[in-house]
Amino acid sequence: MPVVTVAGLSKSYGPVKAVDDVSFAVEAGDVFGLLGPNGSGKTTTLACLLGLLRFDAGTIEVLGRPAAAIERTAGEVAVVFDSATLVDGLTCRQNLEYARQLLGHEGGRPGDDALRLTGIEGLADRRAGRLSLGQRRRLSIARALIGRPRLVVLDEPLSGLDTVGVRAMLELFSALQREGLTLILSSHRLHEMETVVNRVAVLLRGRLVANAPLDELLQGGRPRLRVRAAPGDVADGVLAGLVGRAGYERRPGTGGGDEFVLAPSDADPAALNQALVGAGCAVSALVPERITLQSAFESLLDGDGHGGGGGGGAGSGGAEVPP
Question: Please, what are the averages of pLDDT over each run of 10 residues along the chain (323 residues)?
Answer: 95 95 97 93 95 96 92 85 81 94 82 92 96 91 90 92 89 92 94 93 94 84 83 94 91 82 83 95 89 78 51 34 40
Is there a single domain that holds both residue 123 and residue 189?
A: yes
- Assess if residue 135 is contained within a domain: yes
Number of independent structural domains in the chain = 2
Is there a single domain that holds both residue 158 and residue 231?
A: no
Provide the CATH number for the domain around residue 103: 3.40.50.300
User: Are the C-beta atoms of 197 and 185 separated by less than 8 Å?
Assistant: yes
Peptide bond into 231 cis (omega under 30): yes
Range of the structural domain that residue 250 is part of: 224-289
CA distance 244 to 155: 44
Is there a single domain that holds both residue 206 and residue 245?
A: no
Is there a single domain that holds both residue 183 and residue 213?
A: yes
Is there a single domain that holds both residue 103 and residue 174?
A: yes
Is there a single domain that holds both residue 72 and residue 55?
A: yes
pLDDT recorded at residue 305: 53
Instruction: Sort 31 into a burial class: Cβ within 10 Å, 0-12 / 13-18 / 19+.
Output: buried
- Assess if residue 152 is contained within a domain: yes
Query: DSSP E strands: which ranges in the chain?
Result: 4-13, 16-26, 31-35, 57-62, 65-66, 77-80, 151-155, 182-187, 199-204, 207-213, 224-230, 248-251, 258-262, 282-289
Report the SS3 class of residue 41. Answer: coil
- DSSP 8-state symbol, 91: B
Name the residue among 31, 36, 172, 53 with its Cα closest to residue 114. 172
Phi-psi region of 217 (alpha: psi -120 to 50; beta: other; left: phi over 0): alpha
Is there a single domain that holds both residue 58 and residue 206?
A: yes
pLDDT recorded at residue 44: 95
Q: What are phi and psi of 180, to 5 degrees?
A: 95, 5
Tell me, rounded to whole angstroms, the distance of Cα 206 from its chain centroid: 16
pLDDT recorded at residue 306: 52
Q: In what order do the strands lie in the sheet with 282-289?
A: 248-251, 258-262, 224-230, 282-289
